[in-house]
Chains A and B, each alone.
Chain A
Amino acid sequence: MTAHHLSRKELASWVADLRGRGLRVVGPVEEPSRGGAAAYREVSSADELALGGGLPARSLKEQFLPPTEVLFGFRRSRDGVELIDTPPRALATVLLGVRPCDAAAPELLDRVMGWDYRDEPWFARREATTVVALACPGVDESCFCTAVGLGPDDSRGADLVLTPVKGGYHVDVVTPKGEALVAASSARFAAPKHAEAAAEFHRAAREKVERNVPRVGEGMAAWLAGNFEHEVFSRLALRCHGCGACAAVCPTCHCFDIVDEPEGLFGGVRRRNWDTCQTAVFTLHGSGHNPRPEQNSRFRQRVMHKFSIFPRRFGETLCTGCGRCARACPGGVDLPEIVRDLEELVG
């Protein structure tokens, strides 16, 4: 893997280069209206990036799966119904300063988005995007990326990985796409200066996060599948409000709803919107029957999907251990704690 050094000053010039080449640059930006918490937003210069801040409040998934998007339009005419093609907005983009737990998520979701049907808007955006990750120092006690096989320095889903070092960033090249991005602005990148400091940063971060939750073992997926009615599931969800804030902030929760909405008198649009398995209407049948009639069963679904259903189908855990669900939960439901408890039951 090739490596480079990018000074802070050259980073600013690099962002200007990228924008000069017509690329959108999206990265963590602190938003005053959120009390200073960051969100991934398009920036016009490196000054706007909050690369030293914590984990953005909202995950990266909206860059590929927006909270709402138009799939196509329709219009009634004398001859019937006319469909209006609405190509997805997939602008060439560099995602800069993405935390590794966010960078890994879209790659996991490629499995399901390209499984029985190739999701066009998703892959159009994936292909138009280059991901520059930023190694993480470990945020707090809710981080558990190492428990799900990732890490605060993981390069999964990233084309380049930046690690903060003295005066700038150590840059690891991960993919040819990342290599091409560097090659196009080669004057900005110098020979690596602080490889050892970067390695030390990675080691310290891993050590910090590993203390939180032990590694999820091989047996978890099968244990969950075989213990669907285990009494543990009637305890875990007592404090859960079924509010779905966890799914909204989750980088890997990807369920969506499809709705038709009128626009004007004779037409409308078909949209897809974020949805969550934590609400009763998610599984409510037209007959009135609900196979997940109460919060225990809905909460179990969230755990099952991430740690059993997805792993058994695709061989991967559907969780990157970012801990956002625990931070966002108004009822104090704590997925890191639950993973720890389940691991003990699995034995």
Chain B
Amino acid sequence: MKDLQDLAQRLLVDGTVAVVIGYERGPRGARPAFVQRPEDVERLIFDAECVQNLATYLSPRRRHLLKLGRKAVVAKPCDVRAIAGLVREKQVKRDEVVVIGVRCPGVGEDRCVTCTAREPRLADHLVGAAVAAPAAGESQRDAKLRELEAMTPAERWNFWQAELSRCVRCHACREICPMCQCDRCVASKTQPQWIESSPHARGNLSWQLTRVLHQAGRCVDCGECERACPEGIPLGLLLRKVAEVVDRRFDFRPSDDPELPTPIGAYRLDDPQEFIL
């Protein structure tokens, strides 16, 4: 903690950055913090409660944050994949953001169970004590995915109809997503209206499936959409499924290398094309 606070203070005092985006203790546990004054660095914490992906605050869509000036951001090994994604998609210039990588003990999410990365690679600074890699556990989400795959199409349809029936189209999933950075989302367009805005079965299905397909090869599996959903819809299942397909067909996994070409952004002669009629 001390090394994080000292680093933040140095970056603010010498003017390298105008704001350090990190974590603080809020009324309901760890939450995002925006530290702009060196005397406030004591607010900064990092522990196993720090679940939020702060890379989402780097998106240029957040105009009120652009105004703050140059940023440093505290990032876990999984969060840096989103920073890499934003750099890869030319939303953020790599040298415009100072990445404070934190060694991560896991933050109690399902994705942590199968994660072996304890040290972010895409980082300008690295803080925190070394953490031993835990024994790999069993992902409940993957188990649920296998369960769904074993269902008949009708059973699967019923499962998703029930889950999506709770969607009220608040779009929290989109707004919190670090990779949802379109200025004007297709779901907000009205002329023509591609996706019905009403929270009925038709509108909800077309919204969630469109979002998931737009995330193919882009989703960094940070789990924020599912965490943000006020209705507890297991959106991660859909995204995980698409990620598995992308991995199998294109040998691509969410990466912390901003130079790695993505399936959608690169052309390869040996791309599998068996699904193109």
| Interface flag for B198 (CB, 8 Å) | yes
| Residue A252 is within 8 A (CB to CB) of chain B in the complex | no
Distance in angstroms between the alpha carbons of A293 and B62 in the assembled complex: 10
Within 8 A of B (CB), among A236-293: 237-239, 241-245, 247-249, 257, 259, 261, 271, 273-274, 276, 279, 281, 293
- Interface flags, B199-237, vs A, CB<8A=1, else 0: 110010000000000000000000010011111100000
Max chain A Cβ within 10 angstroms of own Cβ: one of B32, B33, B162, B227? B32
Q: Which residues of A contact B52 (CB under 8 A)?
A: 330-332
Which residues of the partner chain A approach B64 to less than 8 Å between Cβ atoms? 234, 237-238, 294-296
Please name all residues of chain B whose beta carbon is closer than 8 Å to the beta carbon of A334 when the two chains form the complex: 26-28
Contact in complex: B198, A271 (CB < 8 Å): yes
- The verdict on B181 contacting chain A, using a C-beta distance below 8 Å, is no
Say what secondary structure dominates the interface of chain B: mixed
Within 8 A of A (CB), among B78-93: none
Contact B168 A67 (CB under 8 A): yes
Cβ contacts A132-150/B at 8 Å (1 or 0 each): 0000000001100000000
Given A68-B199, A237-B64, A293-B63: A57 and B230 within 8 A (CB)?
yes
Give CA–CA (A33, B188) in the complex, Å.
28
User: In this assembly, does A58 line the interface, its C-beta being within 8 Å of a C-beta of chain B?
Assistant: yes
B175, CB-defined interface residue at 8 Å: yes
Does B94 interact with chain A (Cβ within 8 Å)? no
In the complex, which residues of chain B have a beta carbon less than 8 angstroms from the beta carbon of A141? 27-28
| B232→A276 contact, CB < 8 A | no
Q: CB-CB < 8 A to A18: which residues of B?
A: none
Contacts of A273 on B, CB cut-off 8 Å? Answer: 169, 197-199
Which of A244, A261, A332 is in CB contact (< 8 Å) with B32? A332
Are B163's CB and A33's CB within 8 A? Answer: yes
Interface pair A241/B175, CB less than 8 Å apart: yes
Contacts of A326 in B (CB 8 A): 27-28
Instruction: Give Cα A178–Cα B6 distance, bound, in whole angstroms.
Output: 63
A35 to B229, CA, bound (A): 13
Which B residues lie within 8 Å of A328 (CB)? 230
> A238 to B65, Cβ gap below 8 A?
yes
List, in ascending order, chain B residues with CB within 8 A of A313's CB.
Answer: none
The answer, yes or no, to whether B47 is at the interface (CB within 8 Å) is: no
Given A238-B64, A239-B31: A274 touches B199 (CB 8 Å cut-off): yes
User: Which residues of B lie under 8 Å from residue A259 when comparing CB positions?
Assistant: 196-198
Which among A243, A327, A330 has the greatest number of chain B C-beta atoms within 10 A?
A: A330
Task: Chain A residues near B30: list those with CB within 8 A.
Answer: 332
B10 in the interface (beta carbon within 8 A): no
Are A67 and B162 in contact, CB atoms less than 8 angstroms apart? no
B198 x A330 contact (CB < 8 A): no
A37 to B231, CA, bound (A): 10
- Binary per-residue interface labels of chain B (165-197) against chain A in the complex, 1 for a CB within 8 Å, 0 otherwise: 010111110111000000000001000000011
> Does B46 lie at the interface of the complex (its beta carbon under 8 Å from any beta carbon of A)?
no
- CB-based contact B232/A244 at 8 Å: no
A244 partner residues in chain B, CB cutoff 8 A: 170-172, 175
For residue A281, which residue of chain B has the nearest CB?
Answer: B188
A330, B170: Cβ atoms closer than 8 Å: no
CB-CB under 8 A from A294, the residues of chain B are: 63-64
A248 touching B168, Cβ below 8 Å: yes
Instruction: Determine if B175 and A68 form an interchain contact, defined as CB atoms under 8 angstroms apart.
Output: no
Within 8 Å of chain B (Cβ to Cβ): is A34?
A: yes
In the assembled complex, how far is the CB of residue A301 from the closest CB belonging to chain B, in whole angstroms? 13
Whether the Cβ atoms of B232 and A68 lie closer than 8 Å is no
Q: Which residues of B contact A142 (CB under 8 A)?
A: 27-28
Q: How far is the CB of A244 from chain B (nearest CB, A)?
A: 4
**CA of A234 to CA of B65, assembled, Å:** 10
A148 to B: closest C-beta gap in Å: 17
Q: Are A295 and B172 in touch, CB under 8 angstroms?
A: no
A237 to B67 Cα, complex, angstroms:
13
Known A279-B175, A296-B64, A328-B230; judge A245-B170 contact (CB<8 A): yes
Q: Report if A337 contacts B (CB, 8 A).
A: yes
Closest to B54 in A: A239
- Jot down 7 A-B pairs with beta carbons below 8 A, ordered by A: A37-B232, A57-B230, A68-B203, A249-B230, A259-B197, A327-B28, A331-B52
* Given A33-B162, A332-B30, 4 more pairs with CB closer than 8 A: A34-B231, A238-B32, A238-B34, A243-B172
